Homo-oligomer: A and B are copies of this chain.
Amino acid sequence: MTDTATPRRRTRGGGGAARRAERTAVSVETAKYIERNIPNFEVLNEEALQIIETNAETVLAEIGVNFVDSPEALERWRKAGAEIDGERVRIPRGLARELCKTAPSTFTQTARNPERSVEIGGKNLVLAPVYGPPFVRDAEGGRRYATMDDFDKFVKLGYMSKWLHHSGGTVCEPTDVPVNKRHLDMLYSHMSLSDKPFMGAVTEPSRAQDSVDMCEILFDGLDGRTVMTSLININSPMTFDSIMMGALEVYARANQACIISPFIVGGAMAPVSVAGTLTQVLAEVLAGVAYSQLVRKGAPVIMGAFVTSIDMNSGAPTFGTPEASHITYGAGQLARRLGLPYRSAGSFCGSKLPDAQAAYETANSLNMGLLSGVNFMLHSCGWLEGGLVASFEKFVMDADQLGTLHHFAKGVSMDENAQAMGALREVGPGGHFLGCEHTQENFKTAFWRSDLFDYKPFETWADEGERDTVSLASARVEKMLGDYQQPHLDPAIDAALRDYVRTKKESMPDAFS
């Protein structure tokens, strides 16, 4: 049972310095993306699915969606056969679904280390870290605005995390770098501090173009390869803004992947019911994915669904709740019927601290993510306080739990060794299996083991200061950052990337909003 890609990197050109760098690099183990050998859990029956699909077509045909400040997009839709009324686009029944058919059901996102490339779609699950928090928190310093230094640390932690396949995107917002330049530093951080696949900028079409340009440098020409998966949020309900659509257009034209994702707090941006929300999610995704295919047939896309419930007392979004699970399971079924890769779930929680609330909510969400057939799980570690905060401790706590998903997804081996009839005969009634041959041969790989949790005898634990999970996680963060060694990058490429960033930064004044 080998579930990990071999950690050694291949040598690439670069002369003596590169070879020396390679020789001293720490070997970092990264598990292969999850290939499920288990069924999906399906909460909706055929009748329910058909109702939702019919209703979504009704939404598109009769209510329509808005493409705001995007005359080009409206023109594309008009040519495709939609009815345009101001910025409203009404899409005849079946048209959007038909257009979606040219989107691939699975695609490869190439990493600069080819052993870290991921296959997105099918029965696979690729795990990426938290995205977007303006704040960070750690046990020592509490909650504060995120900086570029924090960003680099999260990229390093992601690189060092065995069960994480993807370096992610905006692992936190580096608020100390001007808004119009921070994407350059973030991209350079992912490109130079990690060799896992990553995400591009979406905050302006020009920044998406910068992302593509920098990838051209990093990959020494793209040759049609998909090397980024980027996050295009829909302004739910049913609104597509020109910034996000502009970024989508840049990526689609360059054959780079986008997650097209409704962003919904239930009861606010969608109806306060599971069936109504699923209808809206499907309508929005159909319109968004269809639009990506109007820009370029065959552009790789992922059906996204970011949906939380709401606490109607406080108005706060709530996480790890049963209704969010219903929606996540249902949207997975809709994605598979549409033949698209699916993005949802994550280490979601509303708690302010990485405490028990955070862990209950997160575990609920991670488990549903695995069983609902998610193919790309953004936010799979580090999420805190409704996504406002990236937590260092929670990052390593969640990243450790991701190991349970890998092991559960393997399914149950039924080969002769696993049947263990020899062991049952050898030990018999009243015996003990610890010493038997079968146990000796299998115990090392039989059970998943946390690299973080406390499994010590009570007395040892008490003697060592009664440490809780946060305390263990703080120590682990420190250890991982201490052990971190930068993966090799061709110095010529590194110099060209630095040059690109410097030149771009010098070309415009700083902007902080």
Interface residues of A in 284-331 (CB under 8 A from B): 309-314, 316, 318, 320-323, 325-326, 330
Are B443 and A312 in contact, CB atoms less than 8 angstroms apart? Answer: yes
Across the interface, A357 reaches (CB within 8 A) one of B273, B429, B457, B469, namely B469
Chain B, Cβ-Cβ closest to A39: B42
Are A320 and B235 in contact, CB atoms less than 8 angstroms apart? Answer: no
Which residues of chain B come closer than 8 Å to A326, judged between CB atoms?
408, 411-412
The CA-CA distance from A357 to B454 in the complex, in Å, is 8
Which residues of chain B come closer than 8 Å to A271, judged between CB atoms?
420, 423-424, 433, 438-439
Across the interface, A432 reaches (CB within 8 A) one of B268, B321, B444, namely B268
Whether, in the assembled complex, A27 has its beta carbon less than 8 Å from a beta carbon of chain B, the answer is no
Whether, in the assembled complex, A354 has its beta carbon less than 8 Å from a beta carbon of chain B, the answer is yes
Across the interface, A447 reaches (CB within 8 A) one of B267, B423, B457, namely B267
Which residues of chain B come closer than 8 Å to A424, judged between CB atoms?
59, 63, 237, 271, 276, 279-280
- Stretch among A5-13, A219-227, A362-370 lining the B interface: A362-370
The CA-CA distance from A59 to B424 in the complex, in Å, is 8
Interface string of A323-362 (1 = CB under 8 A from B): 1011000100000000000000000001111111111111
Specify which of A48, A270, A421 lies most central, judged by the most chain B CB atoms within 10 Å of its CB.
A421
Across the interface, A420 reaches (CB within 8 A) one of B275, B417, B439, namely B275
**A63-B429, A279-B424 known; A466-B353 Cβ under 8 A:** yes
Are B44 and A41 in contact, CB atoms less than 8 angstroms apart? Answer: no
Are A430 and B466 in contact, CB atoms less than 8 angstroms apart? Answer: no
Are B65 and A414 in contact, CB atoms less than 8 angstroms apart? Answer: no
The CA-CA distance from A149 to B224 in the complex, in Å, is 71
How many monomers of this protein are in the complex?
A: 2
The CA-CA distance from A424 to B270 in the complex, in Å, is 8
Are A310 and B447 in contact, CB atoms less than 8 angstroms apart? Answer: yes
Which residues of chain B come closer than 8 Å to A316, judged between CB atoms?
455-457
Whether, in the assembled complex, A498 has its beta carbon less than 8 Å from a beta carbon of chain B, the answer is no
Are A446 and B323 in contact, CB atoms less than 8 angstroms apart? Answer: yes
Interface string of A440-477 (1 = CB under 8 A from B): 00111011111011111110010000101110010000
Whether, in the assembled complex, A397 has its beta carbon less than 8 Å from a beta carbon of chain B, the answer is yes
**Can you list 14 A-B contacts (CB < 8 A)?**
A66-B429, A239-B429, A239-B430, A266-B446, A275-B413, A275-B420, A318-B450, A323-B407, A323-B446, A323-B447, A352-B466, A355-B356, A357-B468, A360-B360
Interface of A toward B, CB cutoff 8 Å: 38-39, 41-44, 47-48, 51, 55, 58-59, 62-66, 88, 143, 235, 237-239, 266-276, 279-280, 309-314, 316, 318, 320-323, 325-326, 330, 350-364, 367-368, 371, 385, 388, 394, 397, 401, 404-408, 410-414, 417-421, 423-425, 427-434, 438-439, 442-444, 446-450, 452-458, 461, 466, 468-470, 473
